[in-house]
Amino acid sequence: MSKNKQTAGHKGAYSSQKKKEGEGRSCIRYRCGLTNTIQDVLNQRPGWVEVKDDGDWDFNWCDVGWLRENFDHSYMEEHVRISHFRNHYELTRKNLMVKNLKRYRKTLEREAGRLEASKCDFFPCTFVLPSEYHIFVEEFKRSPGSTWIMKPVARSQGKGIFLFRKLKDIIDWRKDGTRSEEQKDEAQVESYVAQRYIENPYLIAGRKFDLRVYVLVTSYIPLKAWLYRDGFARFSNTRFSLSSIDDQYVHLTNVAVQKTSPDYDPEKGCKWQMQQLRRYLTAKHGFETVQTLYKEIDNIFIRSLLSVQKTIINDKHCFELYGYDILLDQDLKPWLIEVNASPSLTASSQEDYDLKYRLLEDTLHIVDMEDRLTGKEKRVGGFDLMWNDGPVHTDVGLETLGSSCLVANTHLGCVNDRQKQLQQLLKPFPGQKRT
């Protein structure tokens, strides 16, 4: 177990009882900084015991605030695991995500050519304000009348977001030397990204939606990433129109925003399961078109992770469950809107709770504090291994024209028969008999 000592005013020096190689730990002490679905999952896991405050722990599902204050002062024993990478924000802050993607695209163009670099054209034209105000204005003037969206770089749940079509609406972010000395002394305006708004989103029943998809990274060097089969589409409550750019209920799909709508129905909610969406799209556009779409979505996950692979501080104690937000346009092109380091684990309905419970349970299976896996698995519950220092393919090769065709090991929106798969895969928990 981990032992927390105060050393020279720093928190978190850990010592552990050494376990024999291959022997599952019978008691795992966990700390949890959240009070939603993850608390239930940890609570009900056989042999796991919660510790409060500064008690000894082996596993920590912490919030990013705790990480910021404690990580650098912590020494962790081999077996200890924590739910974020130290500088996760390189991918999850809107301005840094775009900076890393732009740099990665430039590197690809230099090293592999323009065609390869074009595989990174999945994020809207974006500028950081106030620092890139001048070059933003140049771009803005090239396409008069188009709509832009402003987002604070480090807030979530739709807070602080607004759409605009006139420069006077963002005068506070102007960086042109016209601010007086008094204004310069005042606190700096909050950093925002100005992003070209996708004016032609794919609509279902006249409503805009985006996708929430879950990707688990257990290592950056080498990169090891898992894609969850379940996820959901989040719909706006109001029919889409560009004539009302001030109406959040039309343009923002965040549940935190939609649930404040006067006609929001909590029972019905605004979500479709990923399987339901995939079936709908397949019925409407055909199997091959939808297969191509989902391949392009896979490409977004991989390229975005590769763009920060050399920047994220890799640490064997860390893992991260990312919530990706993807928007489809009318041409069925997927766009990366943002990546969340702390995707909401609070359920908006029973169906939502069940999905998040399964997701978190399978996350813990992969983190594998109990040593029940071999490390060679390509699937664990609802997670499929999509990248392991290179693309991962399914074990079943499709015979095409007499030759084996490699198929990506990703199954977003496909059947999730996880219970059956887990029974075949996992040895029982320490002290449990296989049923």
- Determine the average pLDDT of the residues in 374-393: 96
Residue 387 lies in a domain: yes
Structurally, the chain folds into a number of domains equal to: 3
d(CA 381, CA 424): 10
Residue 299: how many CB atoms within 10 A of its CB? Answer: 15
Q: How many CA atoms lie within 13 A of 377 on its CB side?
A: 23
pLDDT of residue 247: 59
Specify whether 109 is located in the same domain as 77.
Answer: no
pLDDT of residue 396: 67
pLDDT of residue 401: 44
| Positive/negative CA dihedral, 381, 386, 390, 393 | positive
pTM given for the model:
0.89
Specify whether 114 is located in the same domain as 73.
Answer: no
pLDDT of residue 254: 56
Residue 60 lies in a domain: yes
pLDDT tens digits for range 268-327: 558 899 999 999 999 999 999 999 999 999 999 999 999 999 999 999 999 999 999 999
Q: What is the 3-state secondary structure (H, E, C) of the chain?
A: CCCCEEECCEEEECCCCCCCCCCCCCCEEEEECCCCHHHHHHHCCCCEEECCCCCCCCEEECCHHHHHHHHHHCECCCCCEECCCCCCHHHHCHHHHHHHHHHHHHHHHHHHCHHHHHHHCCCCCEEEECCCHHHHHHHHHHCCCCCEEEEECCCCCCCCCEEECCHHHHHHHCCCCCCCHHHHHCCCCCCEEEEECCCCECEECCEEEEEEEEEEEEEECCEEEEEEEEEEEEECCCCCCCCCCCCHHHHCCCHHHHCCCCCCCCCCCCEEEHHHHHHHHHHHHCHHHHHHHHHHHHHHHHHHHHHHCCCCCCCCCECEEEEEEEEEECCCCEEEEEEECCCCCCCCCHHHHHHHHHHHHHHHHHHCCCCCCCCCCCEECCEEEEEECCECECCCCEEECCEEECCECCCCCCCCCHHHHHHHHCCCCCCCCCC
Specify whether 224 is located in the same domain as 334.
Answer: yes
Distances (CA, A) of 333 to 156, 211, 290, 300: 24, 13, 11, 11
Specify whether 133 is located in the same domain as 71.
Answer: no
Lowest mean pLDDT among 21-25, 40-44, 49-53, 75-79: 21-25
Q: What torsion, rounded to 10 degrees, do the Cα atoms 38, 43, 45, 50 define? A: 100
pLDDT of residue 11: 38
Residue 19 lies in a domain: no
144 lies in which domain range? 125-174+189-197
Strand 403-405 relative to strand 398-400: parallel, antiparallel, unpaired? antiparallel
pLDDT of residue 73: 82
Residues 26-56 as b or e (16 or more Cβ within 10 Å = b): eebbbbbeeeebbbbbbeebeebeebeeeee
Specify whether 235 is located in the same domain as 309.
Answer: yes
Whether the CB-CB separation of 212 and 325 falls below 8 Å is answered with yes
Whether the CB-CB separation of 428 and 371 falls below 8 Å is answered with no
Residue 244 lies in a domain: yes
Specify whether 282 is located in the same domain as 348.
Answer: yes
d(CA 211, CA 5): 43
pLDDT of residue 430: 64
d(CA 124, CA 102): 11
Domain harbouring 153, CATH code: 3.30.1490
Residue 414 lies in a domain: yes
Confidence of residue 263 (pLDDT cuts 50, 70, 90): low
Residue 184 has pLDDT above 70, yes or no: no
Specify whether 74 is located in the same domain as 152.
Answer: no
